[in-house]
Structure 1
Amino acid sequence: MALYTYKTSNPAFSRDVWKGYTSTSNKMTVNGVILKSFFCVILVASTAMLTWNMHIKGFNIDYLMYGGLIGTLFFSLLTAFIHRLAPVLVPLYALAQGFFLGAISIYAENKFKGMPLQAIGVTITTFFAMLFLYKSKIVKVTDRFRSVLVVAISIIMTIYALSWSLNFFSIETPFTILDNSSYISIAFNVVAAGIAAFTLLLDFDFIERKKNHVPKYMEWVATWGLLVTLVWVYVEALRIMKKIAVN
Structure 2
Amino acid sequence: MRSSNPVFSSLTDTQRNHGQNPYGGYDQFGGQYQTQAPVKSERSMTVDDVITKTGITLAVIVAFALLNFGIMLFVSPGLSMILTIVGAIGGFITVLVATFGKKYGSAAVTLIYAAFEGLFVGGISLLFSGFLVGQAGAGALIGQAVLGTMGVFLGMLFVYKTGAIKVTPKFNRIITSMMIGVLVLVLGNLLMALLGFGNPLRDGGMLAIVFSLVCIGLAAFSFLTDFDAADRMVREGVPARMAWGVALGLAVTLVWLYTEILRLLSYFRGD
TM-score by length of 2: 0.81
Using the TM superposition, give the Cα deviation of residue 7 of structure 1 relative to its aligned residue in structure 2, in angstroms: 3.3
Residue deviations 1:161-209 (CA, integer Å, cap 9, x gap): 211122122235xxx4112121122012111101111100010011111
In 1, the alpha carbon distance for the partners of 2:104 and 2:219 equals: 28
Show structure 1 runs of 5+ residues with no match.
1-5
Name which of 40, 44, 64 aligns with 2:57. Answer: 40
TM-score by length of 1: 0.88
**1:198 aligned to 2:221?**
yes
Using the TM superposition, give the Cα deviation of residue 213 of structure 1 relative to its aligned residue in structure 2, in angstroms: 4.2
* Structure having the larger proportion of residues in helix: 1
Corresponding residue of 1:98: 118
- Corresponding residue pairs, total: 239
Moved more, 212-221 or 234-243: 212-221
Using the TM superposition, give the Cα deviation of residue 17 of structure 1 relative to its aligned residue in structure 2, in angstroms: 7.0
Please say if residues 68 and 96 of structure 1, whose CA atoms lie closer than 8 Å, have aligned partners that are also in contact. Answer: yes
Corresponding residue of 1:156: 182
In 2, the alpha carbon distance for the partners of 1:69 and 1:232 equals: 12
Larger Rg: 2
Q: Tell me the percent identity.
A: 28
Cα RMSD, aligned residues only? 2.1
Partner SS, residue 178 of structure 1: coil
Corresponding residue of 1:31: 48
Using the TM superposition, give the Cα deviation of residue 82 of structure 1 relative to its aligned residue in structure 2, in angstroms: 3.6
**1:73 aligned to 2:99?**
no
Corresponding residue of 2:207: 184
Moved more, 21-30 or 94-103: 21-30
Moved more, 54-63 or 218-227: 54-63
Which amino acid is the alignment partner of residue 12 of structure 1?
V
Which amino acid is the alignment partner of residue 44 of structure 2?
K
In 2, the alpha carbon distance for the partners of 1:34 and 1:142 equals: 24
Please say if residues 68 and 80 of structure 2, whose CA atoms lie closer than 8 Å, have aligned partners that are also in contact. Answer: yes
Using the TM superposition, give the Cα deviation of residue 246 of structure 1 relative to its aligned residue in structure 2, in angstroms: 5.9
Corresponding residue of 1:3: none
Which amino acid is the alignment partner of residue 233 of structure 2?
K
In 2, the alpha carbon distance for the partners of 1:21 and 1:58 equals: 50
Residue deviations 1:7-60 (CA, integer Å, cap 9, x gap): 333221224773233445222223211210011111111111111112111322
Counterparts in 2 of 1:4-23, with a 5 A limit?
Answer: 6-15=1-10, 18-19=13-14, 20-23=17-20
Please say if residues 4 and 173 of structure 2, whose CA atoms lie closer than 8 Å, have aligned partners that are also in contact. Answer: no
